[in-house]
Amino acid sequence: MKEYGLIVIGSGAGMNVVDAALGQGLKVAIVEEGPIGGTCLNRGCIPSKVLVHAADVIREAQDAARIGVNLRLEGVDYALIKRRMWDIVLSGRHEMEDGIKQTPGLALYPLIGSFVSDYTMQVGTETIKAPKIVIASGARAQVPPIPGLDKVKFHTYRTVFDIEQKPESIVILGGGYIGCEFAHFFSAIGTKVTLIGRNPVLLPHEEPETSLLVKKRLSEHVEVHTGTDTKKVEASGGRTAVTFKDPAEKDERTVEAEHLLVATGVRSNSDWLRPENTGVKTDQNGWVMTNQYLETSKPNIYSFGDALGRNMYRHTANYEASIVRNNLFGQQKVGIDLHAVPHAVFTDPQVGQVGMTEEEAKSQRKVMVGVSRYHDTAMGFAYGDEEAFVKVIVEYPTRRILGATVVGPQASNLVQQVVNMMSSESQTYAPLARAQIIHPTLSEAMASAFGRLQPANFEPEHHHHEH
């Protein structure tokens, strides 16, 4: 039995707690079943953005004909795109590995660990124990029970980055953000892409007008089927055949492709980790349950990040890690504040979103909604994207911002302006109302959405002046 001061399970945002523990003189064990750096670095945000940026450039070039510039794609150097991707991933990974090796008091267990009793884990042949534990164990791909899927070769987000040659064709199962980002990348580099989603819309957690526009635009380059029932998958002479029923068509269809990517959501790693053996409660899907301080049901065991099963973004995990670091080692406990959690989807078009959707907000309070089109501003017109839009949701009468969505060029940067206002003291759009906005920029589209607020679920009161 080896004893440590702290065990951290997961080397993604979990690493953010390690330094604080070492600074307190604690010996720390890191348990990590995959490559160091977690999902974001190795098979998530970082590698995918290197690919997606190449796709963005291709689509921008093709769309430029609308504004009078005719460009021709000479070719795509798939090997160079992949080399750039691995350069950033592997340099980040090696830097972290070297840092761990060179740090006294830090031990790495590169295996799946599972709890065997209170505060005690079995990792390979070793047993380790600590009075303080952080569960930042992430999530993994959920593989749906489709007949035949277990008998064919398929990719998940963990392996799709390993495709060596530019694919001639690919079928993507799943219409969430992973499916939409890879459909954008592969279709832009010239792969024939078929996207098959079970949900009636793409990106079901976004505003309905976001889902509609993403489906419309992706469909220009991708064969998109939503609301489908996938009947079976089978190998077909070195290729993979997927049979499905699209509600818009009367007969079943079979699509064959060189590759299959399964992107139908994620599942908890609790079946590996067995947190119940150390008294940590999970919900019915295996996600770890915590209070506002990110404490689990067991004293001195904290959890955060994808292991909680919601807000699965690296920036949220980093924020949560800072809360846990404080609550483990600080003077005074602080609670978590998730009123302004932002995210982006890097597809075509780009999507940025923060806080509540209109439906969520309307179910709880009186709200005003403002919508503007990029195209009604000078810079938006210059871009030539007639469908790009901004939507903002504000509480009435406090003017507190409840949420916002941006769909179009630079959406992730534009929505960040709203995130920052939602994180200000008043949480209102007063800073924007007072600010001079550089003219002409896309930021004007954001400002004009706040300038067009309309009551969404109440009748405005008309004041009659009494003489």
Low-confidence ranges of the chain (pLDDT < 50): none
- Which tokens in the block code for residue 341? 């959690």
* Tens-digit pLDDT profile for residues 48-93: 999 999 999 999 999 999 999 999 999 999 999 999 999 999 999 9
Cβ 83 vs Cβ 75: under 8 Å: no
pLDDT for the residue 241: 98
The ranges assigned to domains in the chain are 2-141+267-329, 149-264, 349-455
- What is the distance, to the nearest Å, from the Cα of residue 307 to the centroid of all Cα atoms in its chain? 14
Give me the active site residues, please.
439
CATH superfamily of 349-455: FAD/NAD-linked reductase, C-terminal dimerisation domain (3.30.390.30)
Q: Is 340 helix (H, G, I), strand (E, B) or coil?
A: coil
Nearest to 120 by CA among 36, 18, 31, 37: 31
Residue 371, class by beta-carbon neighbours within 10 Å (0-12 exposed, 13-18 middle, 19+ buried)?
middle
Neighbours of 267 (CB within 10 A): 16
pLDDT of residue 58: 98
Sheet holding 2-3, edge to edge: 2-3, 126-129, 120-123, 113-117
Question: What whole-number distance in Å separates Cα of residue 385 and Cα of residue 408?
Answer: 8
Distance of CA 144 to the CA centre of its chain: 20
pLDDT score for 464: 58
Q: Kindly list the distances between the CA atom of residue 52 and the CA atoms of 57, 225, 243, 347, 384, in Å, as whole numbers in the listed order.
A: 9, 22, 28, 8, 21
- Residues 372 and 399: their CA atoms lie apart, in Å, by 18
**pLDDT for res 460:** 82
Question: What would be the CATH architecture of the domain defined by 149-264?
Answer: 3-Layer(bba) Sandwich (3.50)
One fold for 2-141+267-329 and 149-264 = yes
Cβ atoms 211, 201 nearer than 8 A: yes
Q: What is the pLDDT of residue 249?
A: 95
pLDDT of 140 reads 97
| 25-39 pLDDT per residue, tens | 999 999 999 999 999
Helices (H), 275-372: 314-329, 358-362
CA dihedral 149, 153, 156, 158 (to 10 degrees): 140
- CATH number 3.40.1080.10 given to 2-141+267-329: no
Residue-wise pLDDT tens digits, 257-301: 999 999 999 999 999 999 999 999 999 999 999 999 999 999 999
